[in-house]
Structures are given as structure tokens and as C-alpha cells.
Structure 1
Amino acid sequence: MFTIARFPLSFCAGLRVSCCVSLLLPVFFASSAWAQTGVVTPSDTHSSAQHEQQSSENSQSSAVAELLQKMASVPHTLNYKGSFTYQHKDNPALQSYRILHWVENGVEHERLQQLNGTEREFLRSGKAIGCETLGDQLLQGKVSQLGANIARLDQLYRFEIRGPERVAGRDATALLALPVDGFRHSLLLTIDNETGLVLKSWLVDESARALERYQFIDLELNPDITSLQQQPAAQTQRSTISQLSECNPAQLKQPEHWLIDWVPSGFAFVGQRKVRNQIEMLMYTDGLTTFSVFIEPTDAAIPEGVAQRGATLAVMDSLSIQGKNYRITVVGEIPVVTAQKIAQNIKGR
């Protein structure tokens, strides 16, 4: 029913989101006559080692928070063009894409061009600079203003800075995000130090297998906007307007007409809209991962099962409410067990 497709994080409706990490560890310094006289005791050695470890953890937490915040905010304001490769586990062949991104009159625009095979192009526009979606707010640690209990990313993932890296000729930092539960995948992101752009991304399953990866091979900042706009159009074009998420929400909302009794801890409802007339789409994010639920009334037989392409899977199920039948499809970069449990816990309001 649905074509499973996967595109870079920067193209996915502005949902590249996360929570500002802040692991605040208390540091206790004990003074003693032994320390003042220069005699080192076992307890002094332990205290010193503990202090060094806590200082190191606090420093890494601050560095992680800075990376995530930069990733959430700076790329939206940039003009750039670049090329990247994409590969997923079901097709080892490398695919190549070109991305053009610019800001005009305070609104983001993007062109994503497929360079291998069929000539196709995807156009995205509509997000105004200053429009902070729920995802953007989570990325920048603005959780408290939402007026709701929502998990921080540091409660959902364990972050590790893996050190400096050089991608597409640019200095970057590798950041590993390991989930604390079995309801999401691991991510290894290489983030540009200057711009916050994700230059390389690996999505990894629970068996440490790479589900998909993409990597920039060149990046040019501040190109001429007119040249980006006037590049010849592809034979096939598709346009999207990224207005699914409400700008600057002050509180969390719930879907209209539908109740999802279970989603993994930390996932929040981002927005909904109708696609193909009768199909309702609900979108959720935890900050680094997204999934969507498609609900369609139907009189036809409803197949049940799982389809997967790379990291993106679709779980299909059925739902009957007051004599009406609905086809339920959960699509996202989540494990099968997560998608199945979501699909089995949907009710009408």
C-alpha cells in the first residue's frame, strides 16, 4: 500500500530532533588534615579519581548538548549544496544524491536530486526561520515550556563522543547514541563542527548490523542562491510542504479521533494530516527517531505483515470500530516489535 522510502535527516519535514543532554553529577570535595599535610591516603586517591571521572562526564555531557543544539538550529539558516552517498542493507549498491538548500525571505527551501538511475527530484519548502517545531524544541532542551511530562533524550539514549573525524574535507565530531531499551535503534552521527550538519549517519540494529548509512562527499557553503533555484528540473518532480508540525507549540497535543494506548517512552505526537483523501497520518518522534501511523477505512480484505527497506519498515494490521474496518500501517525506523505493539494498541476516540 505504501512505498517505503528513506531520505537524509535534513529532508524529513524538519523532524531531526532530540533533547538537550544534561547529566548533572554532583562533585564532592572533602578536605582533611591528611590531605593538607601532603599524605595521600586510599580514600584521597579514590576521591581524586572520582572527581576526575565526574569532571570528564560533565565535560562530555556539555559537548553532547552543544552538538545536538547546533544540529537542531544552525542548518536551518544555511545556504549550501553538496553530494552524498546512500546505502541500505537490502541493496549494497551505493546511490548518489545532490542536495541544494537555501533560505529566501525567511523561508527554507530544499531540492534533493537523485543522481543514479531514474532522474528524480524532491522539492521541499514552507518552513519559516524562527518556526520551532516540537522536535526542534526537544533538540534544544526546551522541554519544560511544553508543560508536559516528556522524557529527555539522556533518559532514552546513552551518548558517547567517539572523537574527531574528517568527512567531505571538513572537521567533524562522531557521536554515538545507544538506546537504553529495545524499542529503537542505535545511531552513529558525524556532525560538522562549524554548521551542525550531519555529514555521515549509520543506523544500526540490536545485532550491530548497519541498516543504512549515508555520507557527504562534498559540501559547499554559501553558494549563489539564484544558481540553486535555476538548476534544470528533473524529469520527475515531487513537492512537499513541511508544515506537519505546529510552530512553537507551548504544550503537547493528542491526535484527533484516535487514541494510541502505547508508544515507547519518550515518543511524542508531532502532528497529523490527511493524505490521499481518506487516509489519516499521525507522526511521532522521540528526538532522534520518527514513526508514522497511517489509518485508512476500507471494505477490502486487509493483509497483515511486515515489509522492510533498509532501516525503514512498515507493519500492517487491521482495526474494526463500530462495524467499520480500517487498515493500520506503522512506518518508521523502529524495530519490528515496536511497530507491531503500536499497531495493536490503536483505538477510536
Structure 2
Amino acid sequence: MLVCGVLAGGGALVRPAAAAPQPAAHAVPATSADDIGRLADSPAQLLAYIQAASRNQDYEGVFMYQQGENTQSSRMVHVVDASGERERVETLDGQPRIYLRHNDDVQYLQPDRKIVRRDSRHTVRFPGLLQRGPAQVLGHYKLKVLDRLNREAGRECRVVLLEPRDALRYGLRLCVDTQTGLLLKEQTLDSARRIVEQVSFSSVRLGKDVDPARVDSSWDTGDWKVLQPSMKPIDLLAQGWRIAMPEGFKAILEVARQIGPASGGAPHVVSQMVLSDGLVAISLFIEPYDASRHRHPPAGPIRHGAINIYGRRVAGYWLTALGEVPIVTLERLANSARYIAKPPAGAAH
């Protein structure tokens, strides 16, 4: 299945995210006041504050990812030193998977297979929030800071809502630490405000209570196989594709990937476009149609909690749209795609 092949290197990823420029880092002030409440009248500053809190302070803890009846727990350590950001995330359920990041240098470790997958693109992860700058987000979401305070992981947090302005997006309910601005809990809500997915810290330590040594890998990977992603920039428009973006989404990445076979067969090249509205991301994968490979998933929608998938055949290609958005958004994107074949070289006009 294409989606599994592309995401297989993710290991400890809790959700798909776009490789995107990060908002500029700003120091997170140490306060004893509720800065979340104070910034309630300045939505852009509040979003920037939450994002900066995930990047510019030391913290470690265990977080739980829940989707329906499925849960996954992971341990995270994040430290900031003279060399920049360093982060380690390790799954605590099933086979161990370790995510290591030093600024934009990323490694995914699979100890059971002695494999290291390298990447040079930092993706947005919990407790990070923004794919792009706050201004783009607020064009499509309304931000509300509620009066009530909650407690998560033993810490007081303020409830913040990001409500979509249309039916193309899910909403988010956040609980933000009142002392530091760190995101402690994130819930994805459908149009009826039902929770379709959530990720939250069950325990967390901050500041001087964090041991920087815990960010290092405990595995000796000297003799492991290192896999480097095979990607190159492409221009889908120049290749003959005409794709209408859902309202508010912009293309932020277009690449060709070489995907290894899931079971037998030869590797094949997949084109990928990543779109974002500033808060969430959508990936559109395009590959030559193969009847034996594209029986699963079938054409049409597949729902998996907040992550939806929509497949469709266009000319001699198979398109797969994937993202944490309502299925109508993926359907609109995939059904807008048209392929205009180029005339053969030297053909008469």
C-alpha cells in the first residue's frame, strides 16, 4: 500500500506533517502569571507563543496518542543548548522506534531491523503546532480562549479553541500550560465537536528538572544499515498536472520519491505534493497505475480516525490524497486533478 510505504520511516510519528519553514523562534519568558489569558486578545501572538514554547525550552515526559480504541505511548525528551534543538522520541508500545533530531537533521531508528533512516527535513510534531505562520492560520480558523482552567499531567492549563471557518477543516481543542505556554493536550474535533483524535502528556517535567543526557540514543548504530531518502524537486505543472487547491491551502513541497517495494517487485517513483493551510497538511501522491498494486486501497474514501485517505485513478496514474482533514477536502483535491499529456518530441503542431 502506497501510504504505508511512504510513511514507514516515520516510526514514532504521531501524525503526518508537512515539511515546512518554522515560525521564527522567540524566547519564552519565565512567568508566574497566566500569559495565555493575557494574550487572549492577540490571537497571532498567542499562537506564536505556543509554538515558541515547544521549541525554546527543555522538557521531557510521556505522551499518549489516542485514535478510537487504539492508543500509543511515547517518551519524549527535548533540550536546547548552544548547538540548537535536540530531541528524542521513543515509542513505548510494540517494537521500539526512536526519533532523533538535531535541528533539521533527523534520524529514525528501528532497532529490531538495525536500520537508521535519515532525513534532512524537520516536520512539525506535538507539542509543536504550526506548519506555517500564525497569519495564514487565522485566515481559516477562529481562536477562542476559554475562561476555564483544566489540569493535564499535574499542571494547570488554559483551554484554547481553534474553530474552522468552513467545512474543509477539523477543529482543535488545546490545553496550554499557564506557566510556560507548552501545549499539554491537543484534541481534533469534527463538525459535531466529537473527538476523533487526541494526543496529550500523561507526565511532564520542565526546565532544570530535565536531564540533557537523556536526549542521546542508548543504541550503538555503528554497524546498522543507513537509508537515505531518494528525493528530488519537481514541477507538477510542467509535467502536465492541473490541480486545484482546496480553499486556504497552498503547495509547500513538490518532490519525486523512489519507493521501495512492500513485498517483491521493483522500486517505483512516486510524485508527492504537500499542501498546508498553516495548521494541517495534506499529501497528494501520484504514481503510474498498476492494477495489481492498486486494488488496495480501493478508489474512494477510507477513514481512519482524523487521518483520511482518498484514492482515484486519473488517466494512467493513481492518486492518493491523505491528511488530517475531512474526507470532503481530500475528495475535492483528488477530483480536481487533470493530466494533460505532452505531445511527443518533434510532433507536428
Alignment TM-score, normalising by the size of structure 2:
0.67
Within 2, Cα distance between the matches of 1:256 and 1:72?
Answer: 36
Q: Which residue of 2 aligns with 1:61?
A: 41
Question: 1:172 is matched with which residue?
Answer: 157
Matched, 1:226 2:208: no
Contact 2:134 2:278 in 1 (8 A): no
Root mean square deviation, CA, Å: 3.8
Letter in 2 for 1:96: S
1:117 equivalent among 84, 94, 97:
94
Do residues 312 (structure 1) and 307 (structure 2) align?
yes
Shift of 1:68: 0.2
Which has the higher mean CA deviation after the structures are superposed, 300-309 or 183-192? 300-309
Tell me the secondary structure at the aligned position of residue 104 of structure 2: strand
Superposition deviation, residue 294 in structure 1: 0.9
Cα separation, 2, equivalents of 1:290 and 1:210: 19
Tell me the amino acid that sits aligned with residue 210 of structure 1: I
2:181 & 2:226 partners in 1: Cα distance? 25
**2:326 matched to 1:335?**
yes
How far apart are 1:103 and its partner, in Å? 4.0
The whole-number CA distance in structure 2 between the counterparts of 1:13 and 1:80 is 23
| Alignment partners' CA distance in 1, 2:227 and 2:325 | 24
Name the residue aligned to 2:65: 86
Q: Which amino acid aligns with 2:304?
A: R
Q: Which stretch of the first structure deviates more once superposed, 265-274 or 295-304?
A: 295-304
Deviation of 1:289 after TM superposition, in Å, equals 1.5
Taking structure 1 as reference, are residues 120 and 132 closer, same or farther at Cα in structure 2, changes over 3 Å only?
A: closer
Aligned residues: 280
User: What secondary structure, in the 3-state scheme, does the structure 1 residue paired with 2:291 have?
Assistant: coil
* Larger helix share, 1 or 2: 1
List aligned pairs for 1:100-139, cutoff 5 A.
Answer: 100-103=77-80, 106-127=83-104, 138-139=132-133
Task: Give the SS at the match of 1:95.
Answer: strand
Aligned residue in 2 for 1:44: none
**Structure 2 unaligned spans of 5+:** 24-37, 106-120, 260-267, 341-349
> The residue matched to 2:54 in structure 1 has which SS?
helix
How do 1:123-272 and structure 2 match up within 5 A? 123-127=100-104, 138-141=132-135, 152-163=136-147, 164-222=149-207, 223-232=210-219, 257=239, 259-272=241-254
CA distance in 1, matches of 2:302, 2:225: 24
Larger radius of gyration: 1
- Measured after TM superposition, the shift of residue 211 of structure 1 is 0.7
Residue type at the aligned position of 1:160: K
Give SS of 2:41's match. Answer: helix
Structure 1 unaligned blocks of 5 or more = 19-57, 142-151, 247-252
Percent sequence identity over matched residues? Answer: 26
1:72–1:140 CA contact under 8 A, matched in 2? no
Q: Deviations over 1:5-31 (max 9, x none)?
A: 89447x84565989xxxxxxxxxxxxx
Residue pair 2:131, 2:279 contacting (<8 A) in 1 also: no
Q: How many Å separate the matches in 2 of 1:273 and 1:238?
A: 24
Cα deviation code 1:71-115 (max 9, x no counterpart): 2333223332211112112xx243211112234654434322111
- Shift of the alpha carbon at 1:305? 2.5
Distance between the aligned counterparts of 2:75 and 2:322, measured in 1? 25
Distance 1:13 1:219 in 2: 26
Decide whether the 8 Å contact of 2:44 with 2:138 is kept in 1: no
Confirm or deny: 8 A CA contact 2:174 2:183 kept in the other structure: yes
2:35 aligns with none
- Aligned pair in 2 of structure 1 residues 274, 76: CA closer, same or farther (>3 Å)? farther
Q: 1:196 to 1:281 in 2, by over 3 A?
A: farther
Give 1:221 shift.
Answer: 2.4
Letter aligned with residue 171 of structure 2: S
